[in-house]
Amino acid sequence: MAVNNIVLETEKYCNIHDIKDAKHTINKYIRKTPLIQSMFLSRNITGGNIFLKLENMQYTGSFKFRGALNKILHLTEEQKSKGIITASAGNHAQGLALTGKLLGIKATVVMPEEAPISKQNATKGYGAEVILKGETFNDSRLYMQELAQKTGKTIVHPYDDSLVMAGQGTIGLEILEDIWNVDTVIVPVGGGGLISGIATALKSFNPSIHIIGVQSENVHGMTHSIKQGEITPQFTNHTIADGTEVAIPGDKTFEVANQLVDEFVLVSEEEISTAMHQLMQRAKIITEGAGALPTAALISEKIDPRWIKNKSVVALVSGGNVDLTRVSHIIDHLLQPADTHEGVIG
């Protein structure tokens, strides 16, 4: 296995051994998600061999279950007895809530007041206590920290935690199991836990794999921080990719992404909506806004063709927890006559 010096520099946060251990730890609980080729994206859009990694089919409908599970399974019995707490816009919340239910641990989740109703209800459905506090994720995060200090509950951070990153990195190992010679991997980015874990796994195997992070033009704290050379908040407006609505990336994830992610791409709200619509119409995949970010980058042709054309490319569909009312709105907004690409599947 090839390991380059850049990967070694980030091992203090998360390394390939942590990720392999995470896979062993969580394997009996999680679902190995499908990796399917999209002929529509391959033949009609990019000229590459585009594969979709369907984490929208993971338990709780999102990759977040992996990281939350890995973290919580490493807690002491005393920590478990006092309960766990997190802040989340919805997907990490559900991962934490399901893990708490499976392991018999009381879970509390602080969510932004505008968190999607479907994610609030799903989190409650798994048995967690849901507290709505703050306009943004950062507001919820600060309140979570206050509650943790008062109650003694253990914080399970949604992204800035080595065990969480390692759990998300198991996706990278699954990608390599299916396509060992993958050239490019495109990942949605919020706080950075997902791309940090995946990049560590992939770059440890082959440093030449090109890693691309995608964020919304409205909220791209990680991209802005990388550009500035230090953690710098960025928030213009809310985004349909609410699962990635993180204005301030994590300290650990910033360091890993700064070293291992090759480039970042920003997409507009219209481009995200179009990608959601196309994934539904052409690939029969229901995805939330965050899950559609990589596809949005491909459809909008914002990625240099040298990383795509005639390459084996994996675009991660990170989650599928979307309100049906939002799906209906996107369909109504973007509904067009059937295109002329007959005979193309997916």
Residue carrying structure tokens 């970042």: 264
Q: What CA–CA distance (Å, rounded) separates 273 from 159?
A: 25
Going along the chain from its start, the domains and CATH numbers come out as: 3-60+159-329 (3.40.50.1100), 83-151 (3.40.50.1100)
Which tens digits make up the pLDDT trace of 272-321? 999 999 999 899 999 999 999 999 999 999 999 999 999 999 999 999 98
Which residues on neighbouring strands pair with residue 49, listed in sequence order? 312
Q: How confident is the model at residue 118 (pLDDT cuts 50, 70, 90)?
A: confident
Positions marked active-site: 64, 318
Which tens digits make up the pLDDT trace of 77-102? 999 999 999 999 789 999 999 999 99
Which tens digits make up the pLDDT trace of 322-342? 876 666 677 666 665 544 333
Contacts for 207-210: CB closer than 8 Å, 24+ residues apart: 207/2, 207/3, 207/4, 207/6, 207/7, 209/182, 209/183, 209/184, 209/185, 210/183, 210/184, 210/185, 210/262, 210/263, 210/307
Which tens digits make up the pLDDT trace of 126-168? 999 999 999 988 899 999 999 999 999 999 999 999 999 999 9
For β-strands 210-216 and 263-267, DSSP reports them as parallel
